[in-house]
Amino acid sequence: MSIRKRKWTTTQGAAKEAWVVDYVDGQGARRLKTFPRKKDAEAFETTASFEIKEGTHVADSASTTVAAAADLWIAAAEAAGLERSTVAQYRQHRDLHIVPFLGTQHLSKLNVPTVRAFEDTLRANGRSAPMIRKVLGSLGALLGDAQERGLTGRNSVRDMRGRRRVGKERRQEQRQKGKLKVGVDIPKREEIKAIAGAVAGRWRPLLLTAIFTGLRASELRGLRWSDVDFEKREVRVHQRADRYNEIGKPKSVAGERSVPLPPMVLNTLREWKLACPKRDTGRRSDVGDVIKELELVFPNGHGNVESLGNLINRGLVPAQLAAGVTIDSGKVDEDGNPMIAAKYTGMHSLRHFYASWCINPVSTGGQGLPAKVVQERLGHSSITMTMDVYGHLFPRGDDAGELEAAERALLG
């Protein structure tokens, strides 16, 4: 590898000079790279020499654009059999966030300052902090795929994140979002009691199961009768239905779990099993009748996967309206009267209640379970996730009465 000075005269007669780095890359191809200043050429020489030795160097002429690399990344995700919803999210990040601002950029030109500038651009164009974090994660995965293909020598997103205090960033995000609040994010006990008393028909077994098991909406939609053990009084989670109603594995290894069923839910499910719609198998009996069988616990009217929208709009929302668990919608009807709306808009609110029910002391109507058991019941991948979301709900053990009792025990 060498650096030489090059001088020439333009067609207009102006004298020009530049510094050329002449080198052979890791594949044995001769490369030339020109710089206006000697110190820039020397800096490149140092970096390129190290990258060639490590086998990570990619010349600019051998590099590709971010847009082209993104297409390869999406194709690889599809070939790997990732969930349809995951691939759809990758496409959304590519089409709406990455390609519009970085698409024409060559991978070899990306570095930490470039990625940081991209982050600032996303923020300036109205992207929220959580969305920016997700898009940077996708860009990092894109560059990781390109790195494995030999299209780039570095992953600037990982380089940047390696310098940051990721935990601090997440804590700042959590402070902005705030803690989950009872009566705002988590239904009150009285509200749950009212909903359980008001819900009827096909939605009663589903909502009661959601309230007293904490299963995710996707897990409820994918639950099979073979996973309900009436003898052991538990339900086992082995699969879930994504937003496209396709059945797949749980979100993580920890998602496969067993959750105990209270007597009321068991009895409700026993009754529901007799009325539950059966699925058309596509087969016919010897006499020509269509063979139908029970499979899903909470299917639609044809025995197939129920949509998430129906769970909310036909199940959760009407149950709250019937129970009086409502808020002012901020709208008025034709007569000018205030209109009400369901207080809780998502199935995850029932999961939050279940978590609080597991955590709260027995003296207040809860189960008083340890954090590790709560984690297992919820199917969280780590105890950290459980404590980050629900840690403030656990008894602190530093109440005045307990402190006074401890003081007496110590000092007599």
| Residue-level pLDDT, tens digit, the chain, 412 residues | 888 888 888 888 888 888 888 878 766 778 788 888 888 888 878 877 776 676 666 666 656 899 999 999 999 999 988 888 889 999 999 999 999 999 999 998 888 999 999 999 999 999 999 999 999 999 999 999 998 887 887 888 988 876 554 555 555 555 556 799 999 999 999 999 999 999 999 999 999 999 999 999 999 999 999 999 999 999 999 999 998 898 988 878 899 999 999 999 999 999 999 999 999 877 887 777 777 788 999 999 999 999 999 999 999 999 999 999 999 998 988 888 889 999 999 999 999 999 999 999 998 889 999 999 999 999 999 999 999 999 999 987 655 666 676 667 767 6
Domains of the chain: total: 4
d(CA 331, CA 133): 35
Same domain, yes or no: 228 and 339: yes
What is the Cα Rg of the chain in Å? 30
347 vs 343: CA distance, rounded Å: 12
User: What residues form DSSP beta bridges with 328?
Assistant: 340
Residues 77 and 159 grouped into a single domain: yes
Structural contact between residues 206 and 298, judged by C-beta atoms closer than 8 angstroms: yes
Same domain, 388 and 296: no
Specify the pLDDT at position 102.
Answer: 95
Q: What CATH number is given to the structural domain containing 107?
A: 1.10.150.130
CATH code at 219?
1.10.443.10
Residues 300, 256 share a domain: yes
Sign of dihedral through CA atoms 268, 300, 295, 312? Answer: negative
pLDDT at 251: 79
**Residue 289 and residue 278: Cα distance in Å, rounded?**
14
Residue 183 lies in a domain: no
Any domain includes 372: yes
Q: Are 193 and 335 members of one domain?
A: yes
Residue 236 lies in a domain: yes
274's CB contacts (< 8 A; 6+ apart) are none
Tell whether 319 and 205 lie within a shared domain.
yes
For position 411, what pLDDT does the model report? 75
- Domain check: are 219 and 317 in the same one? yes
Mark whether 11 and 43 lie in a shared domain.
yes
Query: Do 254 and 339 share a domain, yes or no?
Result: yes
If you ran DSSP here, which 8-state letter would residue 65 be given?
B
Both 155 and 246 in one domain: the answer is no
CB hemisphere CA count around 171 (13 angstroms) = 5
- pTM, full prediction: 0.73
**Angle CA(78)–CA(311)–CA(230) in degrees, nearest 5?**
95
Are 338 and 397 in the same domain?
no
In a domain, residue 184? The reply is no
Residue 349 domain flag:
no
Q: Which one of 322, 344, 366 terminates a domain?
A: 344
Measured CA to CA, the distance from residue 64 to residue 74 in angstroms comes to: 15
Amino acid at 271: E
Contact status, residue 57 vs residue 84, Cβ threshold 8 Å: no
Last residue of a domain, one of 118, 144, 177: 177
pLDDT at position 55 is 65
CB of 242 closer than 8 Å to CB of 221: no
Position 50 scores a pLDDT of 72
Tell me which residue of 204, 220, 212, 206 sits closest to 187, measured CA to CA: 212
Q: Which domain holds residue 372?
A: 354-411
**Burial group, residue 314, by CB count within 10 angstroms (0-12, 13-18, 19+):** middle
Does some domain include residue 182? no
Last residue of some domain: 20, 39, 57?
Answer: 57
Residues 318 and 255 in one domain: yes
Q: Which position has the token pair 């020109």?
A: 34
Yes or no: say if 373 and 357 are a contact pair by the CB < 8 Å rule.
no
